[in-house]
Every structure is written in C-alpha cells, then in structure tokens.
C-alpha cells in the first residue's frame, strides 16, 4: 500500500482527523519496538489488520462529540466497558517537551479506545537468532507513510 492507499483508507479528505492516525502510529511504534528487541522469530507474509469505525461520533477539540452517522457499531463501542486507558498502547514521549491539554488527552484516549491494530497470518513464523529486519523495514515504511497523511490528500469521489 502506498501513501495514497493510506490516505484513501483513513479518509484524508478535508474531514481528516490526525488523532485517528496518531492512535495507530502509537500502536505501530509499540510493534516496532517489540520487533527491534526480539530475536526469536521471523515473520514471512504476515499482515497487519487496522480496525476502526469511520462513522463513529468524533471528538471535538474540547472533548465533546458530534455524531457523523447512526452506526450501530459506534453504539457497540460506546457501550464497551472492558477496554480502558490501561489497555491502550502508547508510544515514546515527545522528548518530554510536549504539553498535552486535558481535552487533547481525552481525544487521544477516545480514539485509542475505538481503534485496534492486530498482527495476523502467522502461518510462516520461524525461529530465528537475529531481529527480523524485513518486518522492521515494513513497519517503518508504514509509519513513514502514515506520518505523512494530512487533510486534503484524498478527494471523495461523487
């Protein structure tokens, strides 16, 4: 998938929400860290499954939400109480210099509770004695593509 493919999938039109992508980037960086540290396995032809509901009520900067549709899946996510902030994956701190407002933190937490990233397709996982550099290259490419997403990269076709 290219940057254009990610722009299409994450609807990088004028309504693009960078906090959604940020939620996935935090998870990707966690997977990247794990792969950089582990040297027990190599994964060949595995996949990443990105899951989110594009029609859920999205938070505003002040932390309030506005419905974008009447999705039953968003109702399901809103009623889930098994996932909490303790289950979210976070990436490295931004050099300790970034000040995060309460509303910004609530917005990030909101997306972290409504997104999921899973490694799937483990048919070809083999023992190894070195880090899986191919997987790391792939993860780093995805992080690079997703880090470039911005509003207006994708035009919705009528």
| Residue 126 within any structural domain of the chain | yes
Highest mean pLDDT among 14-23, 35-44, 71-80, 82-91: 35-44
Task: Count structural domains, the chain.
Answer: 1
| Residue 86 within any structural domain of the chain | yes
pLDDT tens string 106-141: 667 888 888 999 999 989 999 999 999 999 999 999
Contact in structure between 51 and 118 (CB atoms under 8 Å): yes
pLDDT at 38: 95
pLDDT at 67: 45
Q: How far apart are CA 73 and CA 71, in angstroms?
A: 5
pLDDT at 119: 95
More confident residue, 17 or 145: 145
| Residue 96 within any structural domain of the chain | yes
Q: CA neighbours within 13 Å on the CB side: how many for 141?
A: 10
Percent of the chain whose pLDDT exceeds 70: 64
Return the sign of the alpha-carbon dihedral for residues 124, 144, 11, 55: positive
| Residue 129 within any structural domain of the chain | yes
Closest CA to 109 of 23, 25, 10, 15: 23
| Residue 34 within any structural domain of the chain | yes
Range of the domain at 39: 3-54+71-147
More confident residue, 15 or 44: 44
More confident residue, 132 or 61: 132
Mean model confidence pLDDT for the chain: 74
More confident residue, 59 or 69: 59
Instruction: Output the furthest CA–CA distance in the chain (Å, rounded).
Output: 52
């Amino acid at each position: 998938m290219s940057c254009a493919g990610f722009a299409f999938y994450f609807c990088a039109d004028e309504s693009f929400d960078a906090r959604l992508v940020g939620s996935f980037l935090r998870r990707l960086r966690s997977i990247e860290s794990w792969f950089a540290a582990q040297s027990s396995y190599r994964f060949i032809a595995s996949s990443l499954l990105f899951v989110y509901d594009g029609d859920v009520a999205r938070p505003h900067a002040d932390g309030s939400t506005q419905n974008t549709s009447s999705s039953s899946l968003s109702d399901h996510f809103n009623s889930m109480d098994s996932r909490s902030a303790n289950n979210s994956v976070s990436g490295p701190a931004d050099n300790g210099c970034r000040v995060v407002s309460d509303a910004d933190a609530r917005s990030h937490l909101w997306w972290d509770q409504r997104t999921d990233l899973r490694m799937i397709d483990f048919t070809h996982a083999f023992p190894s004695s070195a880090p899986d550099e191919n997987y790391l290259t792939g993860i780093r490419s995805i992080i690079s593509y997703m880090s470039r997403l911005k509003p207006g990269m994708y035009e919705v076709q009528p």
